[in-house]
Chain A
Amino acid sequence: MQLNCPLPKLDFDVITLGHGSGGVLTHRLLDTGVFNVLKNDLLNEQHDGAILNFSGPVAFTTDSYVVTPIFFPGGNIGELAVNGSINDLAMCGAIPEYLSLSFILEEGLRMEEFWEVLLGIKKASEEAGVSIVTGDTKVVDKGKGDKVFINTTGLGRLHPKANIHANRVKPGDKILVSGPVAQHGVAILSVRQGLEFETTITSDTQSLHRQVIKLLDVLGEDVKFLRDPTRGGVATVLNELAAQSGYGVEIIQKDIPVSEQVEGACELLGLDPLYVANEGIFIAVVAEHKANEALSILKSFHPPTSIIGTVTHEHPKQVIQHSRIGGRRIVSMLPGEQLPRIC
């Protein structure tokens, strides 16, 4: 990442336990770092909480980020922590407005690394038009963390036309995926210790609320289900859709966008792209008669968008994939972590 905001001159090179003490070092870290970088009127109050004005329905979410390594092709844990909670709000049909930001830092973290994460947070929140209005910083002993853990909590106003519930899904509805699958998970694996392989695959981490708002503006209640397939991938979301709606789900393998590089890497590692994590795509279920309109809206944001399947009366609560060569198979929920194979 290009550091467009140079690291300020500090009298410490690494995070120490003192930075979590609440004393002078904490204030120095926050004043020169966090507040200075993320400044806005509410954060500048430097209070323990933020006072917000809302009327009408509000979506509320929280998530913790523990990704290893914290820097990966296409992003870092800071961007992920901002985009992740924004996307969780967007998947409720909400327009994200405010985030909290809580750091758990490991003693010994280099200030350059902290700074880069912070700039990732700034970049992602500015791009999304979301303000970080409150937060917290703790430091744990070396060896008791993994450089940086981040928790973000998000608040957003519900879009007036949003009515996103799995129980509104009906047979005939179409399932769309808003971009190529499995990019984030493979990008992370490509830099994971012991597995480093050369690739140009980058994480797809990005905020998705603008796409969702546009869909809701145009299609309103014909958008019935939204979910971003992060951990567990597309297969897990489709299984949730089938279980929660009570209907069957059929997907067409050849229509699922997967880049050639991602597909090749998954093949080598023995991973199924359907189960690999994503950070910048979502699954949408829309009424059949609006599917093509939804497709063209989403394609205007991201051309690889595709209609990948249909909700059906058959095989309730199961997901079936039609293979490229004309066969069929169940796509089940992953029982645990997907582990690379032996041979």
Chain B
Amino acid sequence: MKYLSEYRDAALSQELLHDIKSIVTKPWTLMEVCGGQTHSLVKNGILKMLPEQITMVHGPGCPVCVTPIHIIDEAIELSQKLNVIMCSFGDMLRVPGTKISLLEAKANGADVRMVYSPLEAVKIARENPDKEVVFFAVGFETTAPANALSVVQAAKQNVKNYSILTSHVLVPPAMEAILSDPETTVNAFLAAGHVCTIMGYNEYDPIAEKYKVPIVVTGFEPIDLLQGIYMAVKQLENGEAKVENQYIRYVQREGNTHARQAIDEVFAVSDREWRGIGTIPKSGWEVNEAYRHYDARRKFNLVEEISEDNTTCIAGEIMKGKKKPFDCPHFGKDCTPEKPLGSPMVSSEGACAAYYHFSQAEALPS
């Protein structure tokens, strides 16, 4: 299959592994920013194949994991209003709020619907003029264009019973927050390919320069990851710190200009709280003044509160690359995908879920 099987080729993987081993001379810590990359690394057994000098740590790039618990509570609260249809991507349904998840709210009678696209939620709004339809608009730069487009479409079609509850987060400020931490061990980043498909990678140049870290825009298949690791290690070994693009088949330097225009039309940059990490300045998007009638927070007069998260969960430490899932005393014991303490164990992109599903084999003989 074009763009798939060739990036899962066993012989090429072995060649790349050999290349990595041949250039590495010192210990290096690389952070893969995106949860999809974490899953691919673990699922394909790559972590155990890398030379021991290379430590991969997992970044904050799981949209479900970083959505603050109080916003999940807001979504649940809205879903329980009699007149509301709450629409959400599947991933978000299982994440626990303070008391229950959206899935449990649905089981209790709330009208919660899993949709595959925010445009589907606009359609539901059109078909249910006597109801208020809210789309739970979470995610990184990847989901923002479609969410913005749904608002533009609703406005064009004069659909007034539609709004979005946003929890949009931006990758570059989070990378800066990680690098600003004096305890960080991260020497280089594999930047999230999907994010750069939309945003390009111009905004990474100042970060690479300021913090002297190599940043390699990387895809998600085994060959992508091995090549990205090779490029990052090569820079580190050569004392370089620049932005490179491994994911050239999808990512252009300026990104997708149409998608970015949609984002600019509807959203404004704002400070944003990240679950497990805290508030990062200018790291999120909110609905702007021009589209304020489509902002569920304003429409329903929601007051944003910072709620207490589960303090036994070390999600923040994991997402900042300071700890790994196996470092958590609760991992696989009182924290499992069936009964998670924190969101990284819930999401299909969460680091803990990846380790739990694919990587208990660490204990197995190699």
Q: Are B45 and A342 in contact (CB under 8 A)?
A: no
Cβ of B276 within 8 Å of any chain A Cβ, yes or no, is no
In the bound complex, do residue B94 and residue A263 qualify as a contact, i.e. CB atoms below 8 Å apart?
Answer: no
A327 near B49: Cβ-Cβ < 8 Å: yes
A170 to B43, CA, bound (A): 27
Q: Name the B residues within 8 Å of A144 (CB-CB).
A: none
Tell me if A194 counts as interface (CB < 8 A to partner B): yes
Across the interface, A315 reaches (CB within 8 A) one of B48, B120, B348, B364, namely B364
A332 to B42, CA, bound (A): 13
Q: Which residues of the partner chain B approach A263 to less than 8 Å between Cβ atoms?
A: 1, 4
**Which among A105-113, A223-231, A318-326 touches the partner chain?**
A318-326
B45 and A327 contacting across the interface, CB-CB below 8 Å:
yes
Q: Using a CB-CB cutoff of 8 Å, which residues 79-93 of chain B contact chain A?
A: 89-93
Q: Mark B24-42, 1 if CB is under 8 A from A, else 0.
A: 0000000000001000001
Q: Which of A254-275 contact B (CB under 8 A)?
A: 254, 260, 263-264, 267, 270
Task: Say how far A311's CB is from chain B's closest CB, in angstroms.
Answer: 16
CA distance A191 to B115 in the complex (A): 14
Is B96 among interface residues, defined by CB-CB distance under 8 A? Answer: no
Interface size class of B (residues with CB under 8 A): 35 or more
Question: Given A315-B364, A320-B361, A343-B194, are A328 and B138 also a contact pair (CB < 8 Å)?
Answer: no
Whole-angstrom distance between the Cβ of A143 and the nearest chain B Cβ: 13
Q: Which of A297-320 contact B (CB under 8 A)?
A: 314-315, 318, 320
Contact across chains for B139 and A327 when beta carbons are under 8 A apart:
no
- CB under 8 Å from chain A, chain B span 138-180: 138-140, 142-143
Q: Are B44 and A327 in contact (CB under 8 A)?
A: yes
- Distance A336 CA – B8 CA, assembled complex (angstroms): 28
Which residues of A lie under 8 Å from residue B44 when comparing CB positions? Answer: 323-325, 327, 329
Q: Which residues of A contact B8 (CB under 8 A)?
A: 324-325
Q: How far is the CA of A261 from the CA of B93 in the complex (A)?
A: 28
Whether the Cβ atoms of A260 and B45 lie closer than 8 Å is: no
Contact B13 A330 (CB under 8 A): no
**Chain A interface SS verdict (over half):** loop
Interface residues on chain A, size class: 20 to 34
The answer to whether A326 touches B13, judged by C-beta atoms less than 8 angstroms apart, is yes
Which chain A residues lie closer than 8 Å to B115 at the CB level?
194
Interface residues of B in 289-329 (CB under 8 A from A): none
Report which B residues bind A (CB closer than 8 A). 1, 4-5, 8-10, 13-14, 36, 42-46, 48-49, 63-64, 89-94, 114-117, 120, 138-140, 142-143, 194, 222, 336-338, 348-349, 356-361, 364-366
A residues whose Cβ falls under 8 Å from a Cβ of B: 193-195, 254, 260, 263-264, 267, 270, 314-315, 318, 320, 323-330, 332, 335-337, 339-343
Rank and list the top 9 A-B pairs by shortest CB-CB distance, nearest first.
A327-B45, A339-B90, A325-B13, A343-B142, A335-B337, A329-B358, A194-B120, A260-B1, A194-B116
Can you sample 27 A-B contacts with CB below 8 Å? A193-B120, A194-B120, A264-B1, A264-B4, A270-B36, A320-B361, A323-B45, A323-B222, A324-B10, A324-B44, A325-B222, A326-B10, A329-B42, A330-B359, A332-B360, A335-B338, A336-B337, A336-B338, A339-B91, A339-B114, A340-B90, A341-B36, A341-B90, A342-B349, A343-B36, A343-B139, A343-B140
